[in-house]
């Protein structure tokens, strides 16, 4: 027997989300201060490769499309200098990746709108981290606050991995 996924025709790459990752990634690559605009090249290469892979008809190839995008942005985040602008652009790049993932041309249109509830949670966490970094006096303090948030997030994640049941609780049939 052969399983088969629905043969939905792949739409052309969505322009808004593609432009978003290209723009944010390019800006992030520019502030990364690599010589000869190397950061911009890395960002554009990653985003372009991801968009190209996602527009193919093969489901297996489409599944690996996010890898170059995440790798290129992650590389820029590691090599970029300290500062408020790189921090903001780093968070924005993370959110733009989520928007890009939601706007999958192989699935039903309107994914970004339906993914609003999902994207708003990391956006809030970023907002908390950014606000604490701006309000606290030193850069090292902001690192501490962000790290604390991350520890909390990782603890929640470990809990979810170990017991995904909280989302499986049935609604009561009777009152």
Partner 1 sequence: MSRPSVSVASSRWRPLALFLLTSGALLLVGAVLVRSPVPIYLAIPLLLAAPAAAWAGPRGAPTGTLELRAEGSGTEVRLAGLFRATGRLEARDLTVLVERPPGLLEEGSARIEQGPSSLRFEYSWRAPEPTIAVVNPPRILWKDPLGLVERPVAVAAEPLVVARYPPELLRVGAVRLRRTSVLPGENPSSRIGATGEFHSLRTATSTDPPRVINWRASARAGRLVANEFELDRTGDVLLLLDARGTTLGPAVDERLLGIARAAALGIADSFLHEKTRVGVAVFSEFVQAVPLSTGRGHHLRLREALLSSRVGPAGVPSERGAVSVSRYYPPGVTTILFSSLTDDASAELVLGLRRRGYPVLVLSPSPLPILAEHSPLAPEDETLVARLVALTRRARIARSWKDAPTVDWDDYWSLGHFVKLLRHPTMRRVG
DSSP letters, 34-78, are: -GGGHHHHHHHHHHHHHHHHHTSS-HHHHHTTHHHHHHHHHHHHH
One of 137, 169, 174, 175 touching partner 1 (CB under 8 A) = 169
Quick one: which of 2, 12, 35, 162 contacts partner 1 (CB under 8 A)?
A: 2
Residue 173 main-chain phi, psi, to 5 deg: -75, -25
d(CA 16, CA 22): 10
CB of 135 to partner 1, least distance (A): 15
Q: Could you say which of 35, 78, 162, 175 contacts partner 1 (CB under 8 A)?
A: 78
Region of 16-24, 34-42, 47-55, 156-164 interacting with partner 1 (CB under 8 A)? 156-164
Question: Which positions from 36 through 75 interact with partner 1, judged by CB under 8 A?
Answer: 63, 66-67, 70-71, 73-74
Q: Least Å distance between CB 150 and partner 1? A: 6
Query: For partner 1, which residue of 48, 49, 111, 136 counts as binding (CB under 8 A)?
Result: 111
Distance (Å, rounded) from C-alpha 125 to C-alpha 146? 9
Distance CA(94)–CA(92), nearest Å, equals: 5
- Residues 69 and 21: beta-carbon distance below 8 Å: yes
Distance CA 3, CA 152 (A): 40
The answer to whether residue 1 forms part of the interface with partner 1 (CB under 8 A) is yes
162 binds partner 1 (CB under 8 A): no
Q: Is 131 in the site for partner 1 (CB under 8 A)?
A: no
Q: Of residues 142, 162, 174, 175, which one binds partner 1 by CB under 8 A?
A: 142
Q: What is the token pair recorded at 110?
A: 């309107």
Kindly state whether residue 137 participates in binding partner 1, applying the rule CB under 8 A.
no
Q: Cβ of residue 50: shortest distance to partner 1, in angstroms?
A: 13
Alpha-carbon span 56 to 167, nearest angstrom: 34
């Amino acid at each position: 027997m052969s399983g088969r996924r629905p043969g939905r025709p792949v739409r052309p790459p969505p322009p808004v989300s593609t432009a978003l990752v290209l723009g944010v990634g390019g800006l992030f690559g520019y502030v990364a201060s690599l010589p000869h605009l190397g950061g911009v090249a890395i960002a554009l290469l990653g985003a372009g490769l991801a968009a190209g892979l996602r527009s193919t008809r093969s489901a297996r190839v489409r599944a690996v499309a996010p890898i170059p995008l995440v790798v290129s942005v992650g590389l820029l985040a590691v090599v970029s200098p300290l500062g408020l602008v790189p921090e903001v652009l780093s968070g924005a790049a993370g959110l733009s990746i989520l928007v890009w993932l939601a706007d999958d041309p192989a699935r039903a249109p309107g994914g970004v709108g339906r993914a609003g509830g999902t994207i708003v949670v990391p956006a809030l966490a970023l907002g908390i981290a950014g606000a604490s970094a701006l309000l606290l006096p030193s850069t090292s303090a902001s690192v501490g606050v962000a790290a604390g948030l991350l520890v909390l997030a990782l603890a929640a994640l470990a809990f979810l991995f170990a017991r995904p049941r909280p989302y499986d609780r049935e609604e009561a049939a009777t009152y």
